[in-house]
Amino acid sequence: MTETESIAYDVVVLGAGPVGENVADRTRAAGLSTAVVENELVGGECSYWACMPSKALLRPVIARADARRVPGLAQAVQGPLDTEAVLRRRDYMASDWKDDGQVGWLDGIGADLYRGHGRLAGPRTVVVEGRDGGRQVLTARHAVAVCTGTRAALPDLPGLADVRPWTSREATSGRAPGRLIVVGGGVVAVEMATAWQSLGAQVTMLVRGKGLLPRMEPFAGELIAEGLTEAGVDLRTGVSVTSVTRERPADADTGAPGTSARQGKGTVVAVTDTGERIEADEILFATGRAPKTDAIGLETVGLEPGSWLSVDDSMRVEGNEWLYAVGDVNHRALLTHQGKYQARIAGAAIAARAAGDTEEESAAWGAHAATADHGAVPQVVFTDPEAAAVGLSLAEAEQAGHRVRAVDVDFASVAAAGLYADGYRGRARMVVDLEAEILRGVTFVGPGVGELIHSATIAIAGEVPLSRLWHAVPSYPTLSEVWLRLLEAYRG
C-alpha cells in the first residue's frame, strides 16, 4: 500500500470484531458509506480467542458432566474425553484462525475493509498503516467509531514477560498442558480451569480474594468452587503470586509468539505470598482487562491514550459530536452481547444524526439509547454447575439505594431438577424492589440454567410487575418452574 490522497467515507470504524461489524452493518443498511479498519482477524476476539473457542472447549465437558448424572447413560460416559477431537472441533469453531468468511460478509454488506493499524490523526481523520508499509488517510463525514476492544491486563511482576504466560488468548487456542496454574477467580479463570481440568490437565487455581466470581451473588462462587474442587482442581483462595519464573532446559525452543502453539518449554515456578513454590507447565493470568486505546491516536483529539472512553447512551464520546466508542472500550459492560447491542444503538444514532434528525424531531430516539447497560445486563458462566445472572445483585441493589428483598429457592423444590439429573444441585435468587414490586436482579446456579436467563432479562428490562409474572405460566416439567417457586416464596 502506498500513500494516496485522503478517501472520504460517511463512517469509519476502527476494529472489525463483532462490535465493529454490527456498527458497519447498521450504517450500511442506512445507506452510509463505511470503511472498516482491522489489524488482526475480521471477527475479532470473540470469534477466535474468546466466546467461540472457549465454549467449544467447554461444551463436551458440560455435556459429559450432565450425562454422568443420568442413570442408564452414566456408565457409557465414564471414560476420558477425546482431547484431540475436542481441540479439532475448537479449531473448527474458530475457523482455524482464518477470517475469509467474515471478510466475505463485510464485502457482502458493501463495507470497505482496510488491513492495517488505524489511528486517529485529528478530528474525523484516520490514518491506516498498512501491512506493506504504506499509508492511507481516511476521513469521516459523520462519525468515527472506536471498536477496538480490550486486551488482557497482566500484573506487574518482575520477569513475567520472560515466562511467556498464558492470557485468555493462549488459554482458548493452546494445546493441553500437563499442569496448569490459573491465577484469578473471575469468569475466564473458572471457565478455563473447568475446561483444561476435564481435558486432562492438573489445575491449580490461585485466587487473591476470598471466593470466586466476586461480581455475582456469593452463592454462585461457592457452588462453582464446590464443582471445581470435586472435579479435581486444587483451589486456593486468599493467595497472591509474588514471583514467577520459567526454568528452561538448555535446548528449549521458546515457540512462536502470536500463534496458538505459544507454549514455552520448561517448568513454570510460581511463588506465593506464603512462600510456597508451585510448579506447572503453563501459567494463565486471568486478572482483568485493559482498553486497547493506547496506540490509536487519542492524543490527537484531546483524549488520553490507554484510557477507557466515557460515552452517553448513544455511544457518542462525551463532549464530542463525531467520535463514538462502542463495546468494551467504553467500560459499560465487557460482554460481547452487550457490545453488539451498543453497536446497534450507535449505528442507528449515527444514521439518524447523519439524516439531520434531532431528538425532538425523531419519534424513534428511544431506540437510540443503550438503557440496558445500566440495569439489565445478562451473563452466563459456562462451568459445572453453570451460573447465570442479570441485573443487580442484592448488594448492588442495596448500594444503589433500592429498598429490596432477596428471595431464594433451592432447585430441589423443582420437579424437573430431579428429571434433569440425579443429585441436581442449584439455587435461584430474585431481588425484588419492594416499592415498585418489580425485579432488580435474578441469579440462577445449576446445570442447564444458562437457558433460563433470558426470561429473567425480559422481566427486568420490561419492568414486569410481579403481579403479572404470576400469569406467565411455566411449562411442566421444566427447570423454568423455578419461577413459580420464587413467586410462591415471595408471597410467603
State which amino acid sits at residue 214. P
C-alpha cell at 207: 485466587
Residue 358 has a pLDDT of 67
**Taking the C-alpha atoms of 103, 104, 107 and 111 in order, what is their torsion angle to the nearest 10 degrees?**
-30
- Residue keyed to cell 511482576: 157
The Cα diameter of the chain in Å comes to 73
Residue 285 has a pLDDT of 98
Q: Please name the residues in contact with 201: beta carbons below 8 A apart, sequence gap of 6 or more.
A: 176, 177, 178, 179, 180
Q: How far apart, in whole angstroms, are the C-alpha atoms of residue 170 and residue 155? A: 17
Using a 10 angstrom Cβ sphere, with 0-12 exposed, 13-18 middle and 19 or more buried, the burial of residue 360 is exposed
Q: How far apart, in whole angstroms, are the C-alpha atoms of residue 187 and residue 286? A: 8
> Which H/E stretch holds residue 323?
strand 323-325
Q: How far apart, in whole angstroms, are the C-alpha atoms of residue 292 and residue 152? A: 10
Residue 368 has a pLDDT of 80
Distances in Å between the Cα of 81 and the Cα atoms of 77, 86, 106, 306 are 9, 8, 37, 42
Give the number of residues written for the chain. Answer: 492
Q: What is the DSSP letter of 111?
A: P
Q: Would you say 191 and 54 are in contact if contact means Cβ atoms under 8 Å apart?
A: yes
Quote the distance between the C-alpha of residue 372 and its chain's center.
16
Residue 341 has a pLDDT of 97
Residue 264 has a pLDDT of 52
7-43+99-151+291-372, CATH topology level: FAD/NAD(P)-binding domain (3.50.50)
Q: Would you say 208 and 231 are in contact if contact means Cβ atoms under 8 Å apart?
A: no
The low-confidence residues of the chain, meaning pLDDT below 70, are 1-4, 250-264, 358-367
Q: How far apart, in whole angstroms, are the C-alpha atoms of residue 78 and residue 60? A: 13
152-288, CATH topology level: FAD/NAD(P)-binding domain (3.50.50)
CA atoms within 13 A on the CB side of 162: 11
**Taking the C-alpha atoms of 355, 361, 364 and 369 in order, what is their torsion angle to the nearest 10 degrees?**
80
> Which H/E stretch holds residue 283?
strand 282-285
Residue 251 has a pLDDT of 56
Q: How far apart, in whole angstroms, are the C-alpha atoms of residue 76 and residue 140? A: 60
Q: How far apart, in whole angstroms, are the C-alpha atoms of residue 263 and residue 166? A: 8
State which amino acid sits at residue 293. T
CATH 3.10.105.10 for domain 385-491, yes or no, is no
Candidates 408, 396, 421; CA nearest to 479 is 421
Looking at the chain, the domain(s) classified CATH 3.50.50.60 span: 7-43+99-151+291-372, 152-288
Residue 362 has a pLDDT of 55
Residue 265 has a pLDDT of 75
Between strands 150-152 and 277-280, the pairing is: unpaired
Looking at the chain, the domain(s) classified CATH 3.30.390.30 span: 385-491
Q: How far apart, in whole angstroms, are the C-alpha atoms of residue 405 and residue 434? A: 7
Q: How far apart, in whole angstroms, are the C-alpha atoms of residue 396 and residue 355? A: 40
C-alpha cell at 244: 514467577
- β-partners of residue 204 are 181, 234
Candidates 159, 165, 181; CA nearest to 264 is 165
State which amino acid sits at residue 10. D
Give tens-digit pLDDT for 436-448: 999 999 999 999 9
Candidates 453, 478, 456, 479; CA nearest to 469 is 456
**Taking the C-alpha atoms of 432, 394, 150 and 349 in order, what is their torsion angle to the nearest 10 degrees?**
30
Residue 3 has a pLDDT of 54
